[in-house]
Amino acid sequence: MKKYISGLSTIEKIEKIGLLLLFVVMIIIPHVTGTATVTMVSRIMIFAVYAMAYDILRGYIGVIHLGFALFIGGGAYFVGILFTQFGVSLPVLLMAVVGTSIYSAIWALIVGKISGKSGLLATAMITMAFAEIMRSLMTVWRTVTQGEDGLAFRVPAPFDDRTFMFYSSLAFMILMAFVLYKFTKSPTGRVWQAVRENEQRAIFLGYDTNRARTIALLVASVVGGLAGVMFGLLNRFVNTDLLGMQMTYNAMLYSLLGGSGTLFGAILGSGVVVLFQNLLLDLRGMHFIFERWLLFFGGLYIVVVMFMPRGIMGFYYDWKEKREHKKRLRQEESA
């Protein structure tokens, strides 16, 4: 262990210590804060998984999916509908997880087929239409979904406890981050990045780019759907807004702000956006300008695009690379 630590650079040691401290803070949050903070941080972690799933498409293989809300909304609706129709129990929750996974996989295969025959722009437009179709279906199916009024439901024990839900969200985020990270570092993940950089070159090298794109869609869709299940358990309420374009825009914003193609950037981006949003909402009583909190989000996004075009994590990686380059130059000069 000592040999491993001594082999790390100063920056790497700071990163490891920072991650350890962050984990410790996350563990103690439910014991030192109130229910509102616990719920907010749980929401951040679930949105982080949703954003990481989107980052697989936008950041790793270069697919723009404008209907990605299909999955977080679909997962939440599966939980709500099954609980209200078949009772509140853990077996029904398992049914929701399986149903969401199948639902997400079917949509992924449909989009994969379309993207193989259409351009990226056409695929983006078609996926947006799919989400609107599903949103319209949930709106008119009032006898089951309550339409635009939304569907409130109970959740089974122990998920009705906010502290348990917090730790479940934390475990869910860590597990999904690990799984997605392993995918990105696998041969399949390398093919995704090759397709993103130059699809024609990847085809020339003999890679089946349509297959690689379909696998990415499957992985991202299922993970996004599971994030919807967790969001339903946390929120205990679902409405058609979860299937709207705003939810897809949120995933794009989290990913781009934190750093597209980094996974960890999606976690960071979701945390920054949700915390910033809650801060602005708390300031509404001070001045009417804070009622228009979307204006501040627009300003934040402009600042990031201008000064950190690769996002927060991209900016950090660039700084780190320049620092290490200067260090190597100094070592070469001293030698």
Q: What is the pLDDT of residues 36-78, one digit of tens each?
A: 899 999 999 999 999 999 999 988 888 888 889 999 999 999 9
Torsion on CA atoms 161, 165, 171, 173, rounded to nearest 10? 180
pLDDT of residue 9: 62
This prediction has a pTM of 0.90
Sorted by sequence, the CB contacts under 8 Å of residue 166 that are 6+ apart come out as 29, 30, 38, 41, 42
How many Å apart are CA 107 and CA 156, to the nearest integer?
Answer: 28
How many Å apart are CA 175 and CA 173, to the nearest integer?
Answer: 6
CATH 2.30.29 fits 36-292, yes or no: no
Q: What is the pLDDT of residues 122-139, one digit of tens each?
A: 788 888 888 889 999 999
- Residue 326 gets which letter from DSSP? H
- Residue 309 gets which letter from DSSP? T
Q: What is the pLDDT of residues 273-288, one digit of tens each?
A: 888 888 877 777 777 7
Check: CB of residue 180 under 8 Å from CB of residue 219.
yes
How many Å apart are CA 79 and CA 64, to the nearest integer?
Answer: 27
pLDDT of residue 120: 73
Closest among 241, 214, 213, 217 to 228, alpha carbons compared: 241
10 Å CB burial of residue 278 (0-12, 13-18, 19+) is middle
The residue with tokens 């358990």 is 233
From first to last of the 335 residues of the chain, give the pLDDT tens digit. Answer: 554 445 556 666 677 787 888 888 889 999 898 898 999 999 999 999 999 999 999 888 888 888 899 999 999 999 999 999 998 999 999 999 999 999 999 999 988 888 767 777 778 888 888 888 999 999 999 899 988 888 999 999 899 999 999 999 999 999 999 999 999 999 988 999 898 888 888 888 888 888 888 899 999 999 999 999 999 999 999 999 999 888 998 898 888 888 888 888 889 989 988 888 888 777 777 777 777 777 777 787 788 778 888 888 888 888 888 888 787 877 777 76
Whole-number Cα distances in Å, 245 to 70, 95, 248, 289: 10, 27, 5, 25
How many Å apart are CA 110 and CA 113, to the nearest integer?
Answer: 5
Amino acid at site 218: L
Cα separation of the two ends of the chain = 30
- Residues listed for the chain: 335
How many Å apart are CA 289 and CA 249, to the nearest integer?
Answer: 23
Structure tokens at 302: 């402009």
Task: Write down the domain spans for the chain.
Answer: 36-292
How many Å apart are CA 58 and CA 62, to the nearest integer?
Answer: 5
Helices (H), ranges, 186-310: 187-197, 199-204, 209-235, 245-258, 264-282, 293-307
